[in-house]
Structure 1
């Protein structure tokens, strides 16, 4: 037999209302496939704390990727200090790094002097539009986590993202560093919104 079957959940619409179901699907898939790392996006820490409760006692480690400092307001980190303390106390990892699929490119495309889109932003937009916003987020979080040394690039991880907030998209991914982007592989979809 040259194939494997796995279930994929399709949410009716994107958004944070899918978070609890997405968490359950991710933890179940991680246990079924013996994947011990879940990489997830969390802006304030709320989604990370929900995952933390779900993985307690499972041996699954969370790698929480936050917005960069200054994402919304110069010099401000949006992540909760209480959430940070709770996650670190249980051995989870928090990573804050430049957004791999925008970063400096966004400054150039927004500039009145330079203007125009970039190839990097085209990749990000393709992931957002063709599959789901959450997949773009999940892929970007894996790149950031790999670049920061928080995950390796040989073992599969479960990566989770959302549309604006919460979690509504998850995939099994073989990581890569940003400089080796095309070595990254989305190997399985666990959940995604059907309508975007």
Structure 2
């Protein structure tokens, strides 16, 4: 099996869109039906759910444990993720 590696010269928010497109392409190519995405406040989860909407690939968004400040996943992002099918 051969694969490609993509490197970014600098960290920036736009890289997430590129990564999600690459993951979606590879998942469709390999017949993968579920993709897990880590998201603290839900912004990455929203982007992923919207990027995969209608693809037949289920997005599972996980956050970290609830700490002393309570949940960090923003309620509005949780609703957007659910609305997009995540």
TM bin, normalised by shorter chain, reads 0.7 to 0.9
C-alpha separation in 2, matches of 1:52 and 1:90: 6
C-alpha separation in 2, matches of 1:15 and 1:67: 22
CA contact 2:53–2:85 (8 Å) conserved in 1? no
Q: Secondary structure at the match of 1:67?
A: coil
- 1:127-152: CA deviation from partner (whole Å, max 9, x where unpaired): xxxxxxxxxxxxxxxxxxxxxxxxxx
The structure 2 residue matched to 1:86, chosen from 69, 80, 86, is 80
Shift of 1:34: 0.7
The structure 1 residue matched to 2:35, chosen from 27, 34, 38, is 38
1:10 aligns with 2:4: no
The aligned counterpart of 1:122 is none
Q: Which structure would you say has the larger Rg? A: 1
Q: Which runs of 5+ in 1 are unaligned?
A: 93-196
Q: CA RMSD, aligned part only?
A: 1.7
C-alpha separation in 2, matches of 1:10 and 1:89: 32
CA contact 2:50–2:84 (8 Å) conserved in 1? no
- 1:4-39: CA deviation from partner (whole Å, max 9, x where unpaired): 222221122345341111111111111111111111
Relative to the length of structure 2, the TM-score reads: 0.85
The aligned counterpart of 2:18 is 21
C-alpha separation in 2, matches of 1:88 and 1:13: 31
Shift of 1:85: 2.3
CA contact 2:21–2:51 (8 Å) conserved in 1? yes
Moved over 6 A (4+): none
Relative to the length of structure 1, the TM-score reads: 0.40
1:76 aligns with 2:64: no
Q: Secondary structure at the match of 1:40?
A: strand
Structure with greater strand share of residues = 1
CA contact 2:35–2:57 (8 Å) conserved in 1? yes
